[in-house]
Amino acid sequence: MTRAMGAAMRRIHVGNALSAFGLGFTVPYLYVYVAQVRGLGSMTAGLVLAVFAVAALIVLPFAGRAIVRRGPLPVLLAALVTAALGALSLGLSASAATVLLSAAALGAGQAVMQPALATMIVDCSTSETRSRAFAMQFFLQNLGLGVGGLIGGHLVDATSASSFTLLFAIEAAMFLVLVAVMATVRVPRAPRVEAVPGQASGGSWKQLLGNRAMVQLCVLGFVLFFACYGQFESGLSAYGVEAAGITTSALGTALAANTLMIVVAQFAVLKFVERRKRSRVIAAVGLIWAVAWAVAGYAGLGHGSQTMATAAFISTYALFGLGEAMLSPTLAPLVADLAPTGLAGQYNSAFALVKQLALAIGPAVGGPLGASLHAPYIVAFLLFSLGITVLAVRLGRQLTEVQNQPSLARSRVVTQGRAPADTVAAAEA
C-alpha cells in the first residue's frame, strides 16, 4: 500500500467506528422509544422496523449505479447527510407519519453507507491487505455498537422523551462528524464505467447476473444472513424466552458474549483464515453454526437445570460470533475479487441488497416460529446451517484458485521473484 492509501484507510476505519458508535446509541432502544415513550403503540413500532428494511431495498439498486458512475465518496457523503437528518427528525417526531418518514430517511442513508464504505476499502487496499482491512472494519463496527449501546443505556430514561431526543441528536452529530472526516479522504482513482451508447441502463445488472460465481455467492449470502443475523433479535431471542426460560438480563449477556467473541477472536481468526480457501472457511462456519443451533436446542428442549440452559443459550451466541469473525475477512473481499474492473460498487450494493432482504424476511419467519414451534424452529435452522456448508463447497467449484485462496498469488510472486537470483547463483557457481 502507498502512504496515501494507508492514510485514506485510517480515515475510513475511523468513519466506520464513528458510524457504528452513533447507531449504537439508538438501535437497541428504537422499539421502546416509538411504542412507549412516544405512545404510538407496538404496531407503529413494528412498521418503523419494517420501513428501515423497505427503504434499504428501494435505494440500494440505485446506490450501486451511483457509486459506479460518481465514485463512493460523494455517495457516502450524501448518505451521511440524509441519515443525520433522519436521526435528528426521528428524535423530534411525535406523530406516526413523521416517525415513519424519519425512519425512511435514516434507513436509506444507513443502507447506502455500507456499500459506499466497502467500495472505498476496496479502492484503498490491495488483494494482499484486503482481508485484514475488512476484518478491521468488522471489529470496529462491533466495538462501536457495543460502546455506543453501553453509553446510551446510561443516558436514556424511559420516562423522559428528551433523553431519547438527546440520543438521536448524538447519533446525528456522529454522522455529521463523519462527513467532516470523510471529506478529507483522498481515495485513489478507480476506473469508472461510463454509459455505453445503445446499452440499456440495466446492463451492469445483467452482467452481474451473468456471473455464476457472484449469483451463487448471493444465494449463499442470503442463507447466511437469514440463518444468523436475521434471528438474533427475533426468532432466537423469542425461542430463548419461551422455550428456555431465558431472562431479559441473560439475553443481554448473550448479546454481549457475541460481541466479546468477535472483539477477542477477530485477529486470531484472521491468521487462520488468510491461509485457507475461502470456500472452506465458509463451509466451516456452516458447521460451527449447526453446532450452535444444536446447543440452542439443548437449552430449550433439554431437561437440564435453568443454569445449564442459560449457559447453553449464551454459548450459542458466542459460537455465532466465532463464525461472524471468520466471515468478515472472507465474504466482502470475495465480492470485491469477483467484481470486474470499475464495478466494485455495483457488486457491493448487490450483496448489501441480498443482506437487507434476508434481514427483512428472517425476523418475519423466525419470530413466530421460534416463539411457538420450538423443535421445528431448531431443526429448520440447523438444516439451514448445514446448507451453508453445501453451498460453500459448490461455490468453491466456480472460483479460480486465486479467488478462492489469494495467498497463492502472493506465494507465486515470491517464487517468481527468487528465480532470477537462483539462476545467477547457479551461473556464478
Task: Quote the pLDDT of residue 217.
Answer: 93
- The domain segmentation of the chain, as residue ranges, is 1-185, 202-407
Q: What is the pLDDT of residue 219?
A: 94
- Which residue is it, cell 450494493? 349
Closest CA to 38 of 112, 85, 95, 76: 95
For residue 84, what pLDDT is reported? 93
pLDDT at 202: 55
- The full length of the chain comes to 429
Query: One fold for both 1-185 and 202-407?
Result: yes
Q: Is domain 202-407 annotated with CATH 1.20.810.10?
A: no
Grid coordinates standing for 136?
478491521
Task: Determine the distance from the C-alpha atom of residue 70 to the mean position of all C-alpha atoms in its chain, rounded to a whole number.
Answer: 24
pLDDT of residue 190: 54
- Local confidence pLDDT in tens for the 429 residues of the chain: 566 677 778 888 887 888 888 777 777 677 778 887 888 887 887 788 778 888 888 888 888 888 888 888 899 999 999 999 999 999 898 888 999 999 999 989 988 888 888 888 888 887 777 888 888 888 888 888 778 777 877 777 777 788 888 889 988 998 898 888 888 877 665 555 444 433 444 556 778 888 899 999 999 999 999 988 878 767 888 888 888 888 767 877 887 888 889 888 888 888 888 888 999 999 999 999 999 999 999 988 887 788 898 999 999 999 999 999 999 889 888 998 888 877 888 888 889 889 888 888 887 788 788 888 889 999 999 999 999 999 999 999 998 888 888 877 665 544 444 444 443 334 333
| Alpha carbon distance 407, 410 (integer Å) | 5
| Alpha-helical segments (H) within 193-234 | 203-209, 212-227, 229-232
Q: Which of 257, 23, 20, 225 is nearest to 140 (CA)?
A: 20
Phi-psi map region of 71: left, alpha, beta (phi>0 left; psi -120 to 50 alpha):
left
Asked if 146 contacts 253 with a C-beta cutoff of 8 angstroms, the reply is no
Please name the fold of domain 1-185: Growth Hormone; Chain: A; (1.20.1250)
Confidence (pTM): 0.78
For 13, the enclosing helix (H) or strand (E) is: helix 3-26
Per DSSP, 37 falls in state I
**What is the pLDDT at residue 371?**
80
pLDDT of residue 188: 62
294 and 315 Cβ atoms separated by less than 8 Å? no
As a whole number of angstroms, the distance between CA 207 and CA 283 comes to: 27
**Nearest 5°: phi and psi at 136?**
-65, -40
Handedness of CA 59, 221, 332, 412 (dihedral sign): negative
Confidence at residue 279, expressed as pLDDT on a 0 to 100 scale: 93
